[in-house]
Amino acid sequence: MPLVTVNRASLYYEESGAGVPIVFSHGLLWSGRMYEPQVAALRASHRCITYDHRGQGQSPVSREPYDMERLYEDAVALIEHLGATPCHFVGLSMGGFVGLRVAARRPELLRSLTIIESAADTEPRLNIPKYRAMAFFARYFGYRLLLRPIMKVMFGSRFLADRARRAEREALEQWLLALDIQGTQAALESVISRRGVEDELARIRLPTLVLHGESDRAIVPPRARRTAAKIPGAKLVLIPHAGHTSTLEEPAAITRELIAFFQKLA
């Protein structure tokens, strides 16, 4: 199992392909596997690197407390350790929070930034008690009884109602049921307690693509619009029918946008 120790953390990563690097940073509760469709399409022309945040996916639970700033430092250390500079950085939700920080503070590490279902603001105040209640419930009862509300937050209604995709949904539910409770508790707290970085967005001078599911309930589209508007030259693309996990809900649409973006830069 490929583990790298950076920033006093052990992180699981996978890489395939060769060429200009792309680093993929995943969303809360998931892992680098959420980019499998995109990696499959891009590894013929790029060096594709996915990694799992502390305590998620196959990365061990962190032995020390951490926040979003520490996860940003993890990403910087990983990119440098793997010699993946300058890279295209693609981050979904939590991964987007990380990517915005890297782009604003360490632009020399990146060729471009893509954020998916993400935003630069703090967590809306009304969301915090709901997420903390979910974390409390999961700590004592696990995720089985929370599957239905989590799936509604993570996915759009079309994906959830599509009978032809039932097997995909069931596989994703099993993924959620296998989550490490301790690891996800820390990750959730890092997300809901993060500070906003809207005041840093004007410093991002990299080519930036903002992809966002039209049906996202976790980070509603107006938040993505505000983020894109504050990044000089950023392009916003709304993905029809997608919720908060468009790399899996509408993989062809996300892959198509990424390929077009990277080809234009090349």
* SS3 per residue for 131-176: HHHHHHHHHHHCCHHHHHHHHHHHCCHHHHHCHHHHHHHHHHHHHH
Whole-structure pTM value: 0.96
* Tokens matching residue 49: 């690197």
82 membership: H or E segment, kind and range:
none
100 CB neighbour count, 10 Å cutoff: 28
Tally of CB atoms within 10 A around 250: 24
Q: Tell me, what's the pLDDT at 1?
A: 58
Do 62 and 88 contact (CB within 8 A), yes or no? no
Q: Interior CA angle at 180 toward 175 and 39, to 5°?
A: 45
pLDDT tens by residue, the chain, 266 residues = 599 999 999 999 999 999 999 999 999 999 999 999 999 999 999 999 999 999 999 999 988 889 999 999 999 999 999 999 999 999 999 999 999 999 999 999 999 999 999 999 999 998 898 888 888 888 888 888 899 999 999 999 999 999 999 999 999 999 999 888 888 889 999 999 999 999 999 999 999 999 999 999 999 999 999 999 999 999 999 999 999 999 999 999 999 999 999 999 98
Model pLDDT, residue 135:
84
- Could you tell me how many residues make up the chain? 266
Find residue 114's DSSP bridge partners: 90, 209
The H-assigned helical ranges of the chain are 36-42, 68-81, 94-105, 127-141, 147-154, 157-161, 166-177, 181-192, 221-229, 246-249, 251-265
Task: Find out whether the peptide bond into 86 is cis, omega within 30 degrees of 0.
Answer: yes
Identify the DSSP state of 124: P
In order of their start, the domains of the chain are 3-265 (3.40.50.1820)
> In angstroms, rounded to a whole number, what is the distance separating the alpha carbons of residues 103 and 62?
25
Give the pairing of strands 46-51 and 87-92.
Answer: unpaired
- The Cα–Cα gap between 57 and 53 comes to 7
